[in-house]
Amino acid sequence: MSTTERLYYADPFLHRFTGRVVAHANWQGTPSLVLERTAFYPEAGGQMGDRGMLGGLPVRDVQVDDAGTVHHLVDVPEGTTLPAPGTELTGVVDGERRRTNMSLHTGQHMLSRALVDVMNAATVSSRLGETLCTIDTDQDTLDERQVAEAEARVNAAIDEDIAIRAFFPTPEELAALPLRRAPKVTDNIRVIQIGDFDVSPCGGTHCTRTGQVGMVRVLGVERYKGKGRVLFSAGPRARRELWEEAGILRGMARAFTCGVPEVPTAVDKLRRELTEAREALGAARAKLAEHAAVELAAALDASPDKRVVAVLDGAGPEQLRAVAARLTSRPEAVVLLAGRLPEGMPVLIARGAQSTFGCGAFLKKAAEAAGGRGGGRPEHAEGRLPPGTDWSALAASLLG
């Protein structure tokens, strides 16, 4: 099977073309169409494949095999077959997707170049995904300030609107080019030259001038599998993300009744107020636990079997532990406590040092009876029961 002519090599802005079907093929178990020529870019080199329409059929994926054959995977209506070999089809590439991919790929080349220039961090791999783009470098960690400097260099070059050339150099021309990295193939090596900024071998679709990239935006730096990784965006996608974030920021400004620049100050104030409220709530809960413990201690002392069953409104696991700690200082005490919250009833069973009551076993039975969950050790157990559980009645029935 002959290789497919790649029309996008000559014109990355070509979105409409005609191509003749030369064969039906198979890509990893899925039937595919092979054309004599195509403007559809197949997934390769970290760049996503094109989508669009071919002969009126949706193109859901485009792949390339080791022989250079481009496989067009199309959705065929039930009861019909793929267009026969010899049929001439009109292809329409999704221009918005292509334009985004061109900006991302060109932006990646430029950022990879700048990372080398600023911090000698060479790109070992890159991925231009549907929602996230990454560059993995040969450095184990990356300095965020230096990455920001690299980002600034790229955007300065974008503002200069430098011409970008895509070509197949002769072996002699290739040998004289200052390639950023070595080619991954040995024949028909295609080169993307961004003025004097960067020269790299690549078979992907690229902008024809740096101004078309629009912007490159670093989203973060992290360590991934022992490599320093840069997360970035570019072009239409970067603009869309900035607009969305700006909308969120304006919404926060309206909620805080302040200007956008004052949002960080308003957030800091809210954070301080929340911390103070939590501290006040903690103090109130501590007092409540102390008050509850005093009342339950009296009931415990009056109980002939040294057991107390109680439900504390609004108490969570923390408050139950605080109350139980005070009560189980009595050696023979057994406390069976539950809190009443909208989302359910936290339960705690605990015993004093001289008691032989099986807390974990008891809570397991209670959870099974009420449709909750819980368990623990003989001396201490915790769990949660459904809202509305009558804990006092349930405990009484199990205690006999």
Contact 225, 218 (CB under 8 A): no
| Per-residue pLDDT at 149 | 98
| The predicted structure's pLDDT at residue 35 | 97
| pLDDT score of 293 | 84
122-142 core/surface letters (b: 16 or more CB in 10 A; e: else): ebeebebeeeebbbbbebeeb
Q: Tell how far CA 219 is from the center of its chain.
A: 12
Asked whether 261 and 245 are in contact (CB, 8 A), the reply is no
Kindly list the structural domains of the chain, giving each domain's residue range(s) and its CATH number in brackets, ordered by start. Answer: 5-93 (2.40.30.130), 98-253 (3.30.980.10), 285-399 (3.10.310.40)
pLDDT tens digits, 240-266: 999 999 999 999 999 999 999 999 999
Residues 175-198 pLDDT 10s: 999 999 999 888 889 999 999 999
How would you write 306-348 as a 3-class SS string?
A: CEEEEEEECCCHHHHHHHHHHHCCCCCCEEEEEEEECCEEEEE
**H/E stretch holding 152:** helix 144-159
Cα angle: 116, vertex 138, 149; to 5 degrees: 35
The candidate with the shortest Cα–Cα distance to 117, out of 206, 49, 190, 178, is 178
Which residues lie across from 163 on neighbouring strands? 209
Report how far residue 229's alpha carbon sits from residue 376's, in angstroms, rounded to the nearest whole number: 44
Q: List the chain pLDDT tens, one digit each, 400 residues.
A: 558 999 999 999 999 999 999 999 999 889 999 999 999 999 998 899 999 999 999 999 999 998 888 999 999 998 889 999 999 999 999 999 999 999 999 999 999 999 999 999 999 999 999 999 999 999 999 999 999 999 999 999 999 999 999 999 999 999 999 999 999 888 889 999 999 999 999 999 999 999 999 999 999 999 998 899 999 999 999 999 999 999 999 999 999 999 999 999 999 999 999 999 989 988 887 788 788 888 899 988 888 999 999 999 888 898 899 999 989 999 999 999 999 999 999 999 999 999 999 999 999 999 999 999 998 999 999 999 999 999 999 999 999 7
Q: What pLDDT score does 2 carry?
A: 59
CA 293 to CA 298: how far, in whole Å?
9
